[in-house]
Structure 1
């Protein structure tokens, strides 16, 4: 479910959903604002999947929280 496999295409994996969220994250924004932009993307689908994707991106350092806003993380 996190990475694409033979049975899970990229658009159904959290990696694919994370790519969509990172494209939408042009400037620091609230999680609610990101949800409003991303909820119609087929890669995101449900709010639960959206939260899992945010968790995944935070865990790998792709995003961070700063004063209640989601910002792109500093990847090494």
Structure 2
């Protein structure tokens, strides 16, 4: 589920969908706006299979757990980590 396997295509693994979501977060957006960006992007890239919204939502869970996205002011935002020396 998280990683590609015999039954999960590489473009549908949650880790891959999460990466695809991060590409859509160059600018913040509502969950529905990011979902729309993702489906449009996947269509333009000729991804072989569609993903349902619930799979997108699971990928957001992975991203939240990893601490790379937050919801702030009603928008999904990418967390920009700053390293300190």
What is the TM-score normalised by the length of structure 1?
0.82
Identify which range, 8-17 or 47-56, moves more after superposition.
Answer: 8-17
Deviations 1:14-51 (A, max 9, x none): 00001111001111111010011112424761101010
Decide whether the 8 Å contact of 1:44 with 1:50 is kept in 2.
no
Decide whether the 8 Å contact of 1:17 with 1:44 is kept in 2.
no
Decide whether the 8 Å contact of 2:11 with 2:17 is kept in 1.
yes
Number of residue equivalences: 75
Q: Which has the larger radius of gyration?
A: 2
Alignment-derived partner of residue 45 in structure 1? 51
Mark the runs of 5 or more structure 2 residues left unpaired by the alignment: none
Specify the SS of the correspondent of 1:17: helix
Change (3 A) 1:63 1:50: same
Mark the runs of 5 or more structure 1 residues left unpaired by the alignment: none
Q: RMSD of the alignment, in Å?
A: 2.0
